[in-house]
Amino acid sequence: MLSRRLHNRRTFLGLGAGVGLACVGTALYMHYIEPFRLQLRQLSVRLRHAPAGRPLRLLHLSDLHHSDPPALQRIRRAIRMGLEAGPDLACITGDFITADLLQPDALAVALRELSDRVPTYACLGNHDAGPWAAQRGGHLQIAEMRAFLARAGIQCLFNEACTVHVAEQELVLVGVGDLLAGDCDPARAFRGLPAGSRLRLVLCHNPDAKERLAPYAWDLMLCGHTHGGQLCLPLLGTPFAPIRDHRYVAGLHEWSGRLLYVTRGVGNVHGLRLNCPPELALLTLS
C-alpha cells in the first residue's frame, strides 16, 4: 500500500515537473526565439489596374516597434533581407516605435540603408505619435515623427497622396492617419486625386479602417497593426489581435472588390510571439 502511494506521488510529481518544464520552455521560446525568426514572404498579387510595364516589386514592412537594442538589430536585419529581394519601392505601414523615439540617430541610419536604395513611403501607426500614443506614455507630436522620417529619407503620407514614378511606371500612393488615434481622414487623403486608371495603393496602419476607405477608389491596401495576432493559440486562434474584424488578422484578402494585405510585422509589443513569426513581405504586383 505504502509503495503504491509512493509510486503515485512520484508519478504526480513527475507529471507536474514535465508540465512545468514545458511551460518554461514555451515561455523561453516565445520570448527568445520566435520574435527573431524573421521570414521573407513573397507573394504574387494580381490587380485590376495592373502596372503598365513589368511587374512591380514592392517591399512591405510594418510595426518595427523600435524600443530597445534587440529591436534595432531586428530592424537592420529586416531591411537587409528586404533589399536582397530587389524591391522597386518600399512601404512601411506605421508603428516605427512603441512609445518614445529612442536612439533616433541609430534608427535613422538603419532606415537610411533602405531609403537610400529604394523610394520609401510610410503612414503612421497608433504607437508613433498623437493622442492614442500620448495616453500610453508617448511624447511625440505627429510633426516630430514626420520630421524624423524625413531625416531618415522616408516620405510620410499623412492623409495625403502622391504620384510615384518607379521602374518607368507611374502609380498613386495614398496614406491615411491612424484610426485609433482619430487621425484617419480619407476624404482629405483622396481630395483632388484625378480619376484615372492608374494603380492606387493605400497605406493604412489598421485594417479596421477599411470601411472608412470603402467609398474611395483604390486597388490594394497595405496594413499592419495586428502583428498577425502575435500569439496564435491552438483552438483559440488569435484572441489578442487588437482589431474588431478578426477575418483580417494577417495575409492577403479580397475585400469589397479590392485587395488587402495585412502583414504580421517585424517587431512586437511585450516581447512575445507564438506560432506567428515576424515577417516582411515582397509583393510582386501584376
Return residues touching Fe ion (CB under 5 A).
63, 95
Of the candidates 208, 148, 144, 153, the one whose C-alpha atom is nearest the C-alpha of residue 176 is 208
Query: Would you report the helix, strand and coil content of the chain in percent, each value rounded to 5?
Result: 35, 25, 40
Q: Name which of 82 and 224 has its Cβ closer to Fe ion.
A: 224
Residue whose CB is less far from Fe ion, 97 or 172: 97
* Sign, Cα dihedral of 176, 213, 75, 60: negative
Asked if 138 contacts 104 with a C-beta cutoff of 8 angstroms, the reply is no
CA distance 286 to 49: 9
Identity of the residue, 58 or 64, whose beta carbon is nearer to Fe ion in the bound complex: 64
CB-wise, 88 or 95, nearer to Fe ion? 95
Question: What is the Cα–Cα distance from 85 to 109, expressed in whole angstroms?
Answer: 20
> Given the complex with Fe ion, which of 63 and 88 has the nearer CB atom?
63
CB of 58 to Fe ion, least distance (A): 20
Question: Smallest distance from the beta carbon of 225 to Fe ion, in angstroms?
Answer: 5
> Helix (H, G, I), strand (E, B), or coil: what is residue 56?
strand
Q: How far is the CB of 119 from Fe ion (least distance, A)?
A: 23
Q: Nearest approach, Cβ of 98 to Fe ion (angstroms)?
A: 8
The three-class DSSP label of residue 158 is coil
For residue 81, the minimal CB distance to Fe ion (Å) is 19
